[in-house]
Structure 1
Amino acid sequence: MEFQYYLPVNLVFGRGKSEIIGEKAKELGKHALIVTGGKSTKSSGLLEKTEELLKNNGLSVTIFDKVTPNPLTTTVYEGAELAVANGCDMVIALGGGSSIDAGKGIAFQAVNGGDINEYIYGRKSSNKALPILAIPTTCGTGSEGNGFAVMTNPETSDKKSLRCSAIVPACSIIDPLLMMTMPKEVLASVGFDALCHNMDAYISSIAQPLTDMMALEGVRLAASSLPILYEDCENFDSWDSLCLASTLGGMVINTAGVTALHGMEHPVSGLKDVVHGKGLAALAPHLYEASIRGRTDKFAKLSVLLGGQNERDFTDRIRLLLKKLNLAVTLGEMGVEEKDVDWLAENCLKVSAPSMANHPVVFSLEEIKNIYRKSI
C-alpha cells in the first residue's frame, strides 16, 4: 500500500460560525476583496453583515459582485484588476461554488497576471496567490475544501479547472445556517453535485485509502440527508450532514480527481451555460450504466449506501433519487441538440482528458457520443 495525501485547509465548521468571519479575516490581511454574486448574499443580508464584521475587526473592504453561475475567465480578470487597483491583500469568497471558484481565480490572477489559461492548461505554473477565506452559502461544489477553481473561457466555451495548492483556502467557514435560504430547486442541484463528487472520487482509478474512507462517508451523508431536506428544509441535523458531505466531496476530488461524469458535464455547461447539477443529473443514469462493469465492487457499495442491494440496482437507485428531487431531466430540455454531440465529445476529450482517464471504464470517442445521445 503506497499513497500520498496533502491538503492544507483550515476548516471551521458549525452552525453560527459565520459570526467569526472578521476574526479569521484579520489573521490573513488588512484589505479584503469580497467576491460574490449580484443577488443572494445581498437579499439575505449576508454581504452587509460580512462587510460590517470585517470593518469591526479593522479591515478595509472592497466589493466585487459580478460573479455569475459558471464563472468566466473574463470575470476573473476584472476582479483581479479591482483587487490590484485597491491594494487588496486577501480575498473573501462569499456565496455558492461559482463565487468561491471566481474568488480563488481572482486571488491567483491578482498575483500572477497574464493569461490565466496558460496556468489552467499547465503551460505555466505558479504556487502564489492572495490568501483566501471561503464562506460557502450552498452545499455542493466543495470548493471550500480544495485547490480547484472551475471557470469558462467565453472565447472557446472551454470549462476547465485551475489547479494549484496556493488557492486552497487559508480558512473556510462552513456554517450550515447560511444554506437555509436556498430554493428547493437549487438545493436539489447542488446536493446532487455533492453526492457525485464523492462517488466520482470513490470510483476513480487514482483513489487511495484516505479518499475512499472520506468519499464513502460523504456518499452516506449526502444520500441520507438530501431527500430529507428537499421535503423539510428546517431539519438542522440534515443540514449539518449535507454540508459535511459537500466539504468532504471537495476534499476527496482534490486528491482522487473527478471522473467521466464531471468530465462530460463540463462541456455541456461550458457550451449551454446550464446549471451544473442538472447537467450531472441528465448524464448520470446513462453514464453510470455504461461504467459499472469497470468496478462492480465499488458500485455495489455505492448502491447499498443509496438503499439498494448491489451493483445491479445502482442506476435504479440513482434514478429513484433524481425522481425524488425532481431532477429527472434530459440534456434536450437544457437546449442540447444532436448537432452538438460531436463538439461536446471532442471538447470533453480536449478539456477533461485526465478525468476521462480516471474513470473505471475509459470510453472511446464513439462511446462518449452515445452517452450524450442517450442523455438528450
Structure 2
Amino acid sequence: MRSFELKYADTKLYFGLNVVEKMRNHLNGVERVTIATGKNSARLSGALKDVETVLKDLELDYEIFDKVRANPTVEIADELAEFIWENGSDCVIAIGGGSVIDTAKVSSVIALSGGKAKDYLKGRKAKRFLQLLAVNLTHGTGSEIDRFAVLTHEKEKIGISIRYPDVSFDDPKYTLTLPRNQSIYTTIDAFFHAYEAVTAKSTNPFVETLAFECARIIGENLPKEQKLEEKYKLLYASMIAGIALDMSPAHIVHAIEHALSGINPKLAHGCGLALVGARAIYWIHKHCENSAKILMSLIGREVKSAEEAEKGFREFLKSVGFDERLSDYIGKDDFRDVERIVFGPLKYLLNRVSFEFTKEMLYDILEKSL
C-alpha cells in the first residue's frame, strides 16, 4: 500500500496511510481555521483527532462546525459560510465524505464572494474563495478531486461546478469505520461515476482507462471482507472515478437519484443509485453498448444484451449484500414529482448522453425499481 501524491487540475492530492501529516506543509501563513464535519464520522474514523494534532502542533486557532448532514441543504452551506466569516478563518478544512466536502466548497466561496448558496445553484459564479483542504472519509464521491458540489434547495437537489479543493488527503484507514451498508453505497456511487463517465457524449480514451480500472477494482474488492488492503483499493478506485467524472460528467442515473433524495433526504446517494441503477443500465446499454459491455465485464458480468446487463448488475448488488428496493423510500405518488425535477431543473444532465431520454423511460425505471 504505497503512498503517493498527484496534481490534478487545481488540487494537490496525497494518497496513502498517515498522509494527513502532509497538511503541515500547506498551512504556512494561516492563522485561524474552520473545521467542517458531520456529527460522527470525523470523530469515529480518527481523522478529526489527527487534524487537531497537526493544528495544535502548529499552534493554530480553530473552531469546529459539525452540523453538516447527508444530502445537505443550501441553508447548511449558508450557516457554515457565516460561521467561517464570524470565526475570521483564512482556511477551511473539510473532514468527511461528499456531503461535507461539497458543503465546504460552496461555503468557502460564499465567505469571500458573498451571496447565498441558492445563488450559486442558480448560476452565480465564484470570484474568490478561501483555502480549502479536504480530508476524505469515504470511497465513493470523488469530491476530494473534482470541481462539483451538490446541495438541496426546496427539495430540488442540484449539482454545480464550483471549485476544486486546494489540497486533499485520501487515507484508507479512515474508511475502516464505515458501516457495511455505507461501504456498499459509497462504492456504488464510484461505480456509477465510472459507468456514466464512459457512456456520456464527452467520454474519451483517458476517461475510459480510468473508468474501466475503477470497475475492475470494485468488482474484485467490494465482495470481499473490508480490510485495510481492500479499503486502499476501493479508495483508489473512487479517486480515479472522480477524475473520470470531472472530465465526463454524470447523466441519467444521477439525475434520477438527485430527484429521489431531494424528495426523501433519508435516502443515501449511493443507495439511490443502486436502487434505480439496474433498470437505468438497461436503457443506457441499448444506446452505449460497447463501453457499457466492457465495464460490466470488469465487475464479473459478461453481457450480450440490455436485458443481461440489467440482470448482471442486479446479481452483482445481491452478491455484495444489497437487497433494498425503491419502495422502501418513495411510492408511486412521488413519481410525478420525480418527473418534474428530472425534466425540469435537472434536464441539463439528460443532454449529456447521445440518445433522447424520455419520460416513458423514466417511468419504466421507477416502476421496475419499486
| 2:232 equivalent to 1:240 | yes
**Conserved? CA contact 1:31–1:61, under 8 Å:** yes
> Contact conserved, 2:12 with 2:167, CA < 8 A, in 1?
yes
How far apart are 1:233 and its partner, in Å? 2.1
Question: What is the match of residue 5 of structure 2?
Answer: none
Residue 16 (structure 1) aligns with: 18
Residue 297 (structure 2) aligned to one of 282, 298, 304:
304
Runs (5+) with no aligned partner, structure 2: 1-7
Letter in 2 for 1:135: V
**How far, CA to CA, are the matches of 2:176 and 2:67 in structure 1?**
23
Give the corresponding residue for 1:294: 287
Change (3 A) 1:67 1:302: same
Distance, in Å, in 1 between the alignment partners of 2:110 and 2:290 is 42
Offset at residue 95 of structure 1 (A) = 1.2
Cα separation, partners in 2 of 1:314 and 1:367, compared to 1, 3 Å: closer
- What is the Cα deviation at residue 131 of structure 1? 1.4
Match status 1:55 vs 2:62: no
Equivalence for 1:72: 73
Partner of 2:254: 262
DSSP 3-state at the match of 2:192: helix
- Please give the root-mean-square deviation of Cα atoms over the aligned residues, in Å: 1.7
What are the within-5 Å matches in structure 2 for residues 154-193 of structure 1?
156-164=154-162, 167-193=163-189
- 2:165 is paired with a residue whose SS is coil
- Larger deviation: 302-311 or 317-326? 302-311
- The answer for the alignment partner of 1:352 in structure 2 is 346
1:280 is matched with 273
Q: Which residue of 1 aligns with 2:336?
A: 342
Residues 340-372 of structure 1: CA deviation (Å, up to 9, x unaligned):
101101101223222211135321123212222
How many aligned residue pairs are there? 360
TM normalised by structure 2 equals 0.93
Answer yes or no: is the 8 Å Cα contact 2:301–2:313 preserved in 1: no
Is the CA contact 2:92–2:130 (under 8 Å) kept in the aligned structure 1?
Answer: yes
Q: What is the CA deviation profile of residues 161-199 of structure 1, one whole-angstrom value per residue up to 9, with x for unaligned ones?
A: 2312xx201111100111111111111111111111111
After superposition, give the CA deviation of every residue in 1:235-276 in whole Å (9 maximum; x if it has no partner): x33222100111112211112100100011001001101111
Tell me the residue number matched to 1:375: 369
Corresponding residue for 1:3? none
Letter in 1 for 2:186: V
Q: Is contact 1:282–1:328 with CA below 8 Å preserved after alignment?
A: no
Does structure 1 conserve the Cα–Cα contact (< 8 Å) formed by 2:197 and 2:245?
yes
Distance across 2 between alignment mates of 1:360 and 1:327: 30
**8 Å contact 1:346–1:365 — kept in the other structure?**
no
Q: Which residue of 1 aligns with 2:3?
A: none
C-alpha separation in 2, matches of 1:45 and 1:308: 37
Q: 1:260 to 1:82 in 2, by over 3 A?
A: same
Superposed structure 1 runs of 4+ greater than 6 Å apart:
none
> Secondary structure in 2 aligned to 1:161?
strand
Counterpart-to-counterpart distance in 2, 1:8 and 1:56: 27
Deviation at 1:42, TM superposition (A): 2.2
Measured after TM superposition, the shift of residue 62 of structure 1 is: 1.4
Q: How does 1:122-141 map to 2 (within 5 A)?
A: 122=123, 124-141=124-141
- State the partner residue of 2:103: 102
Q: Is the 8 A contact 2:107 2:117 kept in 1?
A: no
